[in-house]
Structure formats: structure tokens, C-alpha cells
């Protein structure tokens, strides 16, 4: 298993492997870059099929956090952690305490928070062992509603750029994954009069959005070829790939999932087909922006900062047209300039 030569290593500053025999904890913490401040990024708990798969995921996610935090204008570096375990595991106390102790050994170089499979309750358990946890109850709390707000505004920015429309009324939007963020996103979209087509692998999550927002439910494999205006990937990564791109009828891809493009070249493929892509780490920064207000928490200040995502994306879309480059390319360069200036 290669680490330093890993395709996603990208000059990571530190990668830490954590093991606790008693609780069974197997975790990896990746700190990509701390030019702008301590690394901050959530913890994902997932049934990875191999250690290799977990390493690839954490390295990609961690790098994404560096770019996300920089472009969102936050004084925070990029990092991420993964716990290799079934996210539905019942006995979480010992596991998250062990995880907290592991985070603590880094002395504040990395702060963790919620991500897929990890709840605010889990973070509170880990917080008993370390101060280096964010997204705490009574502070910034669950980041998902803020991620959803940013994603909703990002979809509006994409629709404004491509169609000149100020409203989503009557537009068809497909949402893949109606979990924490997907649910709140559907609520915004429904409130504005969009027609929803959704999928998930959990029936109860689907029932909720079907009942509350009148969403049409389709099978997971059928989400890509729906005749919609916008496709919003809100489950796991790499769903934009060689197989799915030819199926897309949407002319906009804008959702909250991290690492939506399987490879960078898939951004080129979307551009060549005239499909507008909202770079994932820009559109889904709402949650981390909210977390950045953790210390003296102020929900309205956090909301105002999340709303900046709309203009940031409009700038990226405009530059992408002017410079004939992919939106991802434009965003990456903007982020790198900020990170390098802080060196
Ligand atoms: P979640 O686990 O609550 O929701 C994900 C949903 O996707 C679940 O309901 C799950 O059943 C569903 N799903 C998984 N595989 C699927 C498949 N093959 N087809 C259809 N549905 C599938 O997670 P979340 O917190 O809502 O995050 C969703 C995505 O957004 C993740 O990629 C996450 O990294 C990213 N993200 C989340 C936040 C946040 O604030 N929670 C912030 C930034 C980015």
C-alpha cells in the first residue's frame, strides 16, 4: 500500500493511523495543509472494503477541505478523518472516546466534526476526551442545514448563470441521497416550487421526502437518466464518471456530495457536453462555514457567510466561460492562490 506515492497524496503534511484494541477503533486522520490555520474537516464512518479504499477516501477528502476552507474565506487548513466501521454500529461510546483520544494526540493541529455516518451525538462523546472537536451541541451543532442552504443557493446561481432565471419554480431537480443534507435541500427546493425526483437506499428517508415534499421516488440506478434540469448528487462521491455522464439529461450538476467527479477529466467531459458543474467543495461549504463560527456562535453571521456561496459560484461560472476552462479548474486556481499567499 503506497502512501507517499499515492495518486491522491498531494503533499499531505501528516497522515496518522489510529488503532485501539479495546474498542476496535481503526481510524485514519489526514492533514493536508495548514497554511491558513489548523486543519478542520469532518469524520466519516464507513464500511470500507479495504484499507486502501479508506486511505484513498481520506486523502481525497482532506485535500478537498484545504480548497474548500480557502475558497470559503476561512482561516482554517484542510484535514479529514475516517473510521473504518459499520456506520450503523450500536455501541458507539468506546469507539468515539478512543477516536477523541487519538485526535487529542495531535494537540490542535486538526479539529474533527460530523460527516457521513457520524452524528452530533458521536462528536459530543469524542469531545469528552479532547477539546479539538467542532460542530458541538449548543454551539454550531449539526452542519447539514447550512450545507443544504449553500447547496440550494448554488443551484440557484447555476440556474441564473445558465438560464438567466431568478427562481427554481417549475424546474425539475433530481436529488441522489436524501439523508441529512439531501432532506433539507429538498425542503428548500420544494418551498420554491421545484419538482423533485429522488432516490436513496433507505426507504424511510424516501418516504419522508415523498410525503412532505411530494417527491417522485426512483430506483438508485435510474436517477442519472431522469429528464430533469438539475442533477444534485447528495450521497457519496465519484457518481460523475464514464458510465453516468452519457446518461445525464440534466444541463446542471450541482449537489452537496464531496468528490463528485471520479477523475478530474470528468469535469472536461461535462464542459464539452455543455453541462454546467458547480465544483463540489465550493457549493457544499455551508456546513464548514457554520462550524467556523463555533467559538462565539452566531447563527445569523454564519448564514450571511454561507450566502456568499451564491456570488462565489457566479464568479467561477463567469470566469470559466471567459477563460474557456472547466469550473473546477477555475475554482482550484482561485483556492491555490489563497493558500499560497498564506504560506
Ligand atoms: P447522509 O449519510 O446523512 O446522507 C447520505 C444519503 O445517501 C443517505 O440517506 C444514504 O442512504 C444515501 N445513499 C448512499 N448511497 C446511495 C446510493 N448509492 N444511491 C442513493 N442514495 C445513497 O450524509 P450527509 O451528511 O447528508 O452528506 C451527504 C454528502 O454530502 C456526502 O458526500 C458528504 O460528504 C457531503 N457533505 C455533507 C456535509 C454535511 O454538512 N453533512 C457537508 C459537506 C459535504
Q: Residues 122-166: pLDDT tens digits? A: 999 999 999 999 999 889 888 899 999 999 999 999 999 999 999
Would you tell me which CATH number, out of the four given (3.40.50.720, 3.30.70.20, 3.40.50.150, 3.40.50.1220), belongs to the domain 144-341? 3.40.50.720
Decide if 80 is catalytic: yes
pLDDT digits (tens, 9 = 90+) for 41-95: 999 999 999 999 999 999 999 999 999 999 999 999 999 999 999 998 989 999 9
The whole-angstrom separation of Cα 157 and Cα 234 is 18
The whole-angstrom separation of Cα 222 and Cα 103 is 40
Name residues whose C-beta falls within 8 Å of residue 287's C-beta, 6 or more positions apart in sequence: 42, 114, 135, 143, 144, 146, 147, 150, 181
Is 180 annotated as a binding-site member?
yes
Cβ(135) – ligand 1 distance below 6 Å? no
Is 37 annotated as a binding-site member?
no
Domain boundaries, the chain: 14-61+79-127, 144-341
Distance 341 CA to ligand 1 centre (A): 33
- The CATH architecture that domain 14-61+79-127 belongs to is 3-Layer(aba) Sandwich (3.40)
pTM reported for the whole predicted model: 0.94
Residue 46: predicted pLDDT = 96
Distance 101 CA to ligand 1 centre (A): 26
Is 230 annotated as a binding-site member?
no
271 has a pLDDT exceeding 90: yes
Confidence of residue 2 (pLDDT cuts 50, 70, 90): confident
292 has a pLDDT exceeding 80: yes
Residue 81: predicted pLDDT = 98
Comparing 14-61+79-127 with 144-341, is the CATH topology the same? yes
Distance 79 CA to ligand 1 centre (A): 19
Question: Coil, strand, or helix at residue 216?
Answer: strand
Residue 295: predicted pLDDT = 87
**Atom of ligand 1 at shortest distance to CA of 178?**
9
Q: pLDDT averaged over the chain?
A: 96
Residue 286: predicted pLDDT = 97
Catalytic residue among 21, 26, 68, 80: 80
Cβ(41) – ligand 1 distance below 6 Å? no
Average of pLDDT values for 272-279?
98
Residue 227: predicted pLDDT = 98
Residue nearest to atom 35 of ligand 1 (CA): 257
Residue 16: predicted pLDDT = 97
Distance 152 CA to ligand 1 centre (A): 15
Residue 179: predicted pLDDT = 94
- Count the alpha carbons within 13 Å of 214 in the hemisphere toward its beta carbon: 7
Is 181 annotated as a binding-site member?
yes
Q: Report the percentage of the chain scoring pLDDT > 70.
A: 100
Burial class (CB in 10 A: 0-12, 13-18, 19+), 134: buried
**Atom of ligand 1 at shortest distance to CA of 259?**
32
Amino acid at each position: 500500500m503506497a502512501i507517499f506515492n499515492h495518486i491522491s497524496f498531494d503533499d499531505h503534511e501528516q497522515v496518522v493511523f489510529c488503532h485501539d484494541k479495546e474498542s476496535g477503533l481503526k481510524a485514519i486522520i489526514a492533514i493536508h495543509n495548514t497554511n491558513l490555520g489548523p486543519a478542520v474537516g469532518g469524520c466519516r464512518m464507513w464500511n470500507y472494503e479495504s484499507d486502501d479504499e479508506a486511505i484513498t477516501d481520506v486523502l481525497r477528502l482532506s485535500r478537498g477541505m484545504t480548497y474548500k476552507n480557502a475558497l470559503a474565506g476561512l482561516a482554517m487548513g484542510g484535514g479529514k478523518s475516517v473510521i473504518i466501521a459499520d456506520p450503523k454500529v450500536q455501541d458507539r461510546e468506546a469507539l468515539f472516546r478512543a477516536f477523541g483520544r487519538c485526535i487529542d494526540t495531535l494537540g490542535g493541529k486538526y479539529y474533527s466534526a460530523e460527516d457521513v455516518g457520524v452524528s452530533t451525538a458521536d462528536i459530543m462523546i469524542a469531545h469528552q476526551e479532547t477539546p479539538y472537536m467542532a460542530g458541538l451541541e449548543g454551539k454550531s451543532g449539526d452542519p447539514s442545514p447550512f450545507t443544504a442552504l449553500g447547496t440550494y443557493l448554488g443551484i440557484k446561481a447555476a440556474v441564473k448563470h445558465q438560464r438567466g432565471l431568478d427562481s427554481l419554480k417549475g424546474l425539475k431537480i433530481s436529488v441522489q441521497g436524501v439523508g441529512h443534507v439531501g432532506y433539507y435541500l429538498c425542503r428548500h427546493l420544494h418551498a420554491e416550487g421545484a419538482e423533485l425526483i429522488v432516490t436513496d437506499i433507505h426507504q424511510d428517508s424516501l418516504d419522508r421526502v415523498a410525503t412532505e415534499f411530494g417527491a417522485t421516488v426512483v430506483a438508485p440506478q435510474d436517477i442519472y437518466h431522469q429528464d430533469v434540469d438539475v442533477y444534485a448528487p447528495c450521497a457519496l462521491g465519484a457518481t460523475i464518471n464514464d458510465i453516468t455522464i452519457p446518461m445525464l439529461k440534466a444541463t446542471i450538476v450541482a449537489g452537496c456530495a464531496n468528490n463528485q467527479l471520479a477523475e478530474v477529466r470528468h469535469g472536461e467531459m461535462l464542459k464539452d457536453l455543455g453541462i454546467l458543474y458547480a465544483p463540489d467543495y465550493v457549493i457544499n461549504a455551508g456546513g464548514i462555514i457554520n462550524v467556523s463560527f463555533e467559538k462565539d456562535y452566531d447563527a445569523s453571521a454564519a448564514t450571511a457567510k454561507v450566502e456568499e456561496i451564491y456570488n462565489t459560484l457566479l464568479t467561477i461560472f463567469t470566469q470559466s466561460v471567459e477563460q474557456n476552462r472547466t469550473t473546477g479548474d477555475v475554482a482550484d486556481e482561485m483556492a491555490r492562490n489563497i493558500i499560497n499567499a498564506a504560506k
